[in-house]
Amino acid sequence: MSEIEVSHQEDVALSPEPGLQRQVLAYNANLMLVRHQMQKGWQGARHSHPHDQLVYIIKGHLRFTGGSSTFDAKTGDSFVVPGGIEHQASAIEESEVLDVFNPYREDYARVQG
């Protein structure tokens, strides 16, 4: 088995809810890289998970609520959502995001794999 594996999932994207496309990319037990594409007007459910989440906005404009604060994030912005914090995002315009989770999201891996 190779120490480094390349993820070839260019054509695999899921739509877990209307207005959202999810593509699970490379991952191991410690990290998971996920690409999300949101249509303008999409609003995710407020939720929490035990994973730390690093968010990078590739393009677009999101409004994000985490805990009791709300802020806008645009192309090139990044932020960290600590595990256990309730949060919610909505797309002010069509957006594309890369998320990194630590540890990996077992729920995403089960659906993908």
Facing residues of 99 across strands?
Answer: 34, 55
Amino acid at 33: L
Residue 93's CATH number: 2.60.120.10
Q: Could you tell me which residue, 21 or 13, shows the higher pLDDT?
A: 21
pLDDT value of residue 1: 46
Kindly state whether residue 92 falls inside one of the protein's structural domains: yes
**Confidence band for 73, pLDDT divided at 50, 70 and 90:** very high
Q: Report the percentage of the chain scoring pLDDT > 70.
A: 92
82 falls within a domain = yes
Overall average pLDDT of the 77-91 stretch: 97
Mean pLDDT estimate for the chain:
92
pLDDT of residue 19: 96
Q: CA-CA distance, 95 to 38, in Å (whole number)? A: 5
- Residue 7 pLDDT: 78
Q: Within a domain: residue 5?
A: no
* Stretch 86-111: mean pLDDT: 94
- Cα angle at 58 between 55 and 60, to 5 degrees? 100
Domain range for 67 is: 28-112
pTM for the full predicted model: 0.89
When divided into structural domains, the chain yields a total of 1
Could you read off the pLDDT of 14-63 as tens digits, one per residue? 888 999 999 999 999 999 999 999 999 999 999 999 999 999 999 999 99
38 domain-assigned = yes
* Residue 18 belongs to some domain of the structure: no
